[in-house]
Amino acid sequence: MTITRSQDKTDHLKVLGKGGQTEYQLDGPHAGILETFPNNYPQRPYIVSVEFPEYTSLCPMTGQPDFGTIVVEYIPKDRIVESKSIKLYFFAYRNHQSFMETIANTMLEDFVEALAPLWCRVKGLFSPRGATTLHVFAEQFDTSSDNIDEIKAIVSEWKQEQNRHSS
Protein backbone atom coordinates (compact mmCIF):
# COMPACT_ATOMS: atom_id res chain seq x y z
CA MET A 1 0.00 0.00 0.00
CA THR A 2 1.33 3.42 -0.97
CA ILE A 3 0.75 6.37 1.34
CA THR A 4 0.25 9.70 -0.39
CA ARG A 5 0.46 13.21 1.07
CA SER A 6 -1.32 16.40 0.17
CA GLN A 7 0.39 19.67 -0.58
CA ASP A 8 -0.46 21.00 2.92
CA LYS A 9 2.52 22.53 4.69
CA THR A 10 2.50 21.25 8.27
CA ASP A 11 6.15 21.15 9.39
CA HIS A 12 5.77 24.32 11.48
CA LEU A 13 2.73 23.10 13.47
CA LYS A 14 3.65 22.59 17.14
CA VAL A 15 0.43 22.28 19.18
CA LEU A 16 -0.19 18.72 18.04
CA GLY A 17 3.27 17.59 19.10
CA LYS A 18 4.78 14.30 18.07
CA GLY A 19 3.72 10.85 19.21
CA GLY A 20 0.74 12.08 21.21
CA GLN A 21 2.68 14.75 23.11
CA THR A 22 1.47 18.33 22.93
CA GLU A 23 3.23 21.57 23.82
CA TYR A 24 -0.07 23.20 24.75
CA GLN A 25 -1.08 23.92 28.34
CA LEU A 26 -4.65 24.78 29.34
CA ASP A 27 -3.71 28.14 30.86
CA GLY A 28 -6.54 30.19 29.38
CA PRO A 29 -7.74 31.16 25.91
CA HIS A 30 -5.62 33.31 23.60
CA ALA A 31 -5.06 33.67 19.85
CA GLY A 32 -1.62 32.03 20.10
CA ILE A 33 -3.28 28.63 20.57
CA LEU A 34 -4.70 28.83 17.04
CA GLU A 35 -2.13 27.40 14.67
CA THR A 36 -2.48 28.09 10.98
CA PHE A 37 -1.18 26.80 7.69
CA PRO A 38 -1.15 28.30 4.18
CA ASN A 39 -4.36 28.40 2.15
CA ASN A 40 -3.68 26.44 -1.02
CA TYR A 41 -6.62 28.11 -2.82
CA PRO A 42 -6.40 31.86 -2.13
CA GLN A 43 -7.69 32.63 -5.63
CA ARG A 44 -11.05 30.99 -4.77
CA PRO A 45 -13.32 32.42 -2.06
CA TYR A 46 -14.77 29.52 -0.07
CA ILE A 47 -16.28 29.14 3.38
CA VAL A 48 -14.86 27.06 6.20
CA SER A 49 -17.34 26.22 8.96
CA VAL A 50 -16.28 24.59 12.23
CA GLU A 51 -18.86 23.54 14.82
CA PHE A 52 -17.92 22.71 18.41
CA PRO A 53 -20.98 21.33 20.25
CA GLU A 54 -19.20 20.67 23.57
CA TYR A 55 -18.32 24.23 24.55
CA THR A 56 -18.14 25.10 28.26
CA SER A 57 -17.03 28.13 30.24
CA LEU A 58 -17.93 29.69 33.60
CA CYS A 59 -20.30 32.51 34.49
CA PRO A 60 -18.23 35.39 35.93
CA MET A 61 -20.89 36.15 38.54
CA THR A 62 -21.92 32.72 39.83
CA GLY A 63 -19.06 30.48 38.72
CA GLN A 64 -21.67 28.11 37.31
CA PRO A 65 -20.88 26.38 34.02
CA ASP A 66 -22.27 27.66 30.76
CA PHE A 67 -22.69 25.20 27.90
CA GLY A 68 -23.25 25.71 24.21
CA THR A 69 -22.26 25.20 20.63
CA ILE A 70 -19.72 27.50 19.04
CA VAL A 71 -19.68 27.80 15.26
CA VAL A 72 -16.82 29.61 13.55
CA GLU A 73 -17.28 30.43 9.87
CA TYR A 74 -14.72 32.21 7.73
CA ILE A 75 -13.53 32.87 4.22
CA PRO A 76 -9.78 32.34 4.29
CA LYS A 77 -7.36 34.74 2.71
CA ASP A 78 -3.83 33.41 3.11
CA ARG A 79 -4.20 31.16 6.18
CA ILE A 80 -6.35 28.26 7.42
CA VAL A 81 -6.67 27.34 11.09
CA GLU A 82 -5.63 23.81 12.03
CA SER A 83 -8.62 21.90 13.45
CA LYS A 84 -7.05 20.35 16.57
CA SER A 85 -5.73 23.73 17.63
CA ILE A 86 -9.34 24.99 17.41
CA LYS A 87 -10.42 22.21 19.75
CA LEU A 88 -7.62 23.06 22.19
CA TYR A 89 -8.54 26.74 21.95
CA PHE A 90 -12.14 25.94 22.91
CA PHE A 91 -10.95 23.67 25.75
CA ALA A 92 -9.02 26.64 27.16
CA TYR A 93 -12.37 28.27 27.97
CA ARG A 94 -13.45 25.50 30.37
CA ASN A 95 -12.13 27.29 33.46
CA HIS A 96 -12.48 30.79 32.03
CA GLN A 97 -15.04 33.16 33.53
CA SER A 98 -16.67 35.52 31.06
CA PHE A 99 -20.07 36.65 29.82
CA MET A 100 -21.32 35.00 26.64
CA GLU A 101 -21.32 38.25 24.65
CA THR A 102 -17.68 38.83 25.57
CA ILE A 103 -16.77 35.26 24.67
CA ALA A 104 -18.18 35.46 21.13
CA ASN A 105 -16.50 38.82 20.46
CA THR A 106 -13.17 37.73 21.97
CA MET A 107 -13.22 34.59 19.85
CA LEU A 108 -13.88 36.69 16.76
CA GLU A 109 -10.92 38.93 17.60
CA ASP A 110 -8.66 35.89 18.19
CA PHE A 111 -9.63 34.24 14.90
CA VAL A 112 -9.18 37.50 12.99
CA GLU A 113 -5.76 37.97 14.62
CA ALA A 114 -4.66 34.41 13.78
CA LEU A 115 -6.08 34.26 10.23
CA ALA A 116 -6.65 37.75 8.82
CA PRO A 117 -9.61 36.24 6.90
CA LEU A 118 -11.73 37.94 4.27
CA TRP A 119 -14.72 37.36 6.56
CA CYS A 120 -15.24 35.67 9.90
CA ARG A 121 -18.29 35.04 12.07
CA VAL A 122 -18.50 33.43 15.49
CA LYS A 123 -21.88 32.10 16.55
CA GLY A 124 -22.29 31.35 20.25
CA LEU A 125 -25.38 29.17 20.57
CA PHE A 126 -25.54 28.90 24.34
CA SER A 127 -27.73 26.41 26.19
CA PRO A 128 -30.64 27.77 28.24
CA ARG A 129 -29.98 28.96 31.79
CA GLY A 130 -32.82 30.18 33.96
CA ALA A 131 -35.30 29.46 31.13
CA THR A 132 -33.43 31.91 28.87
CA THR A 133 -31.59 31.01 25.68
CA LEU A 134 -28.87 33.39 24.53
CA HIS A 135 -27.33 33.35 21.05
CA VAL A 136 -24.53 35.76 20.19
CA PHE A 137 -23.35 36.43 16.63
CA ALA A 138 -20.18 38.47 16.04
CA GLU A 139 -18.73 39.01 12.57
CA GLN A 140 -16.14 41.03 10.72
CA PHE A 141 -15.29 41.65 7.06
CA ASP A 142 -11.90 42.60 5.66
CA THR A 143 -13.16 45.84 4.12
CA SER A 144 -9.77 46.50 2.50
CA SER A 145 -10.24 43.47 0.25
CA ASP A 146 -10.41 44.23 -3.49
CA ASN A 147 -13.35 41.85 -3.90
CA ILE A 148 -15.37 42.90 -0.83
CA ASP A 149 -18.66 43.02 -2.81
CA GLU A 150 -18.12 39.42 -4.00
CA ILE A 151 -17.27 38.34 -0.44
CA LYS A 152 -20.40 40.00 0.96
CA ALA A 153 -22.53 38.30 -1.72
CA ILE A 154 -21.03 34.87 -0.86
CA VAL A 155 -21.67 35.47 2.84
CA SER A 156 -25.24 36.59 2.19
CA GLU A 157 -25.94 33.46 0.14
CA TRP A 158 -24.31 31.29 2.84
CA LYS A 159 -26.49 32.83 5.55
CA GLN A 160 -29.65 32.32 3.49
CA GLU A 161 -28.69 28.69 2.89
CA GLN A 162 -28.06 28.17 6.62
CA ASN A 163 -31.43 29.74 7.46
CA ARG A 164 -33.20 27.40 5.01
CA HIS A 165 -31.56 24.36 6.66
CA SER A 166 -32.41 25.49 10.20
CA SER A 167 -36.11 26.11 9.44
Q: Has 35 been labeled as part of a binding site?
A: no
Give the mean pLDDT of 117-138.
Answer: 95
Judge whether 89 and 15 are in contact, CB under 8 Å.
no
pLDDT averaged over every residue in the chain: 89
Query: pLDDT band at 166, cuts 50/70/90?
Result: confident
pLDDT by residue (tens digit) across 59-116? 999 999 999 999 999 999 999 999 999 999 999 999 999 999 999 999 999 999 999 9
Cα 108-83-144 angle, rounded to 5 deg: 40
Query: pLDDT band at 130, cuts 50/70/90?
Result: confident
Q: Which residues contact 66 (CB under 8 A, 6 or more apart)?
A: 56, 57, 58, 59, 100, 126, 127, 129
Domains of the chain: 31-166 (3.30.1130.10)
Instruction: Report, as residue numbers or ranges, the catalytic residues.
Output: 59, 66
Q: Has 83 been labeled as part of a binding site?
A: yes
Q: Has 54 been labeled as part of a binding site?
A: no
